[in-house]
């Protein structure tokens, strides 16, 4: 059995493919809903089949429907969170953080109203069981009916964090080495520096920006 964790790039590719797939599905469901004159209840079964969280609500913020993925993702039901105002309070218990999310969210909504394009918003959401998940939010409006989508970024964020920690550890280790250390990549007849320690900069008198432009042949 292969127990290797996916690389960051593999995870990013997986996420991009998922987002492309679900956005195509959502667009189709939006067309169906428009054809039904915004009667979203006739399309609840279609929304429940999507591999992302979806909430449908009106302009007053009252929720019509949470799809099944939303409920499995966060644990909340319509009884727990009957409106958008309650969502902000429950999902973001820290007021300062909540205010920041609101500011970014309504800024993207205003952009959508002006241009028809919504810039996705990322935030850390508190689930019903007390755990937190990193989420990317999307938005679509159909007359006076609104859809918000929820893509789980938690795995990707964990990989990003582990990758950053590994990079920082490697940098600290390299910089702790005595003398000059460097690595280079060979391309044709040239070889370019790709990594070096702080002693390399200090002893040779170059900045990191200058070293990025240097060929290894320069030091012969």
Q: Taking 70 as the threshold, does the pLDDT of residue 86 lie above it?
A: yes
Per-residue pLDDT of 161-209, as tens digits, reads 666 666 666 676 666 767 766 666 767 677 776 667 776 667 666 766 6
> Within this chain, do residues 73 and 148 fall inside the same structural domain, yes or no?
yes
Counting beta carbons within 10 angstroms of the beta carbon of residue 203, is it exposed (0 to 12), middle (13 to 18) or buried (19 or more)?
exposed
CATH code assigned at 22 = 3.30.450.20
215-219: long-range contacts, CB 8 A cutoff, minimum separation 24: 215/190, 215/191, 216/182, 216/184, 216/191, 216/192, 217/190, 217/191
What is the count of structural domains for the chain? 2
**Is 2 contained in some domain?**
no
> Within this chain, do residues 22 and 117 fall inside the same structural domain, yes or no?
yes
Task: List all residues 6 or more positions away from 60 whose beta carbon is below 8 Å from its beta carbon.
Answer: 83
Query: What residue numbers bound the domain in which 148 lies?
Result: 8-157
Per-residue pLDDT of 15-71, as tens digits, reads 666 666 656 666 665 555 555 444 544 567 778 878 889 999 999 999 999 999 999
Distance between CA atoms of 62 and 66, rounded to whole angstroms? 11
**Tally of residues, the chain:** 220
> Within this chain, do residues 18 and 91 fall inside the same structural domain, yes or no?
yes
> Within this chain, do residues 34 and 118 fall inside the same structural domain, yes or no?
yes
């Amino acid at each position: 059995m292969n127990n290797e964790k996916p690389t960051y790039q593999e995870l990013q590719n997986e996420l991009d493919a998922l987002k492309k797939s679900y956005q195509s599905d959502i667009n189709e469901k939006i067309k169906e809903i428009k054809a039904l004159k915004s009667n979203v209840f006739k399309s609840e079964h279609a929304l429940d089949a999507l591999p992302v969280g979806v909430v449908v609500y009106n302009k007053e913020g009252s929720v019509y429907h949470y799809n099944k993925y939303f409920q499995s993702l966060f644990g909340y039901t319509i009884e727990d969170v009957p409106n958008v105002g309650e969502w902000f309070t429950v999902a973001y218990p820290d007021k300062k953080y909540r205010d920041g999310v609101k500011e970014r969210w309504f800024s993207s909504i205003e952009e959508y109203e002006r241009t028809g394009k919504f810039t996705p918003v990322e935030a850390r959401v508190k689930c019903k069981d007390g755990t937190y998940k990193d989420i990317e939010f999307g938005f679509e409006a159909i007359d006076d009916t609104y859809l918000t989508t929820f893509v789980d970024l938690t795995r990707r964020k964990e990989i990003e964090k582990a990758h950053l920690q590994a990079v920082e550890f490697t940098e600290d280790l390299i910089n702790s080495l005595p003398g000059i250390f460097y690595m280079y990549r060979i391309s044709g007849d040239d070889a370019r520096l790709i990594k070096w320690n702080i002693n390399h900069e200090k002893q040779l008198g170059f900045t990191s920006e200058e070293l990025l432009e240097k060929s290894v042949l320069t030091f012969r």
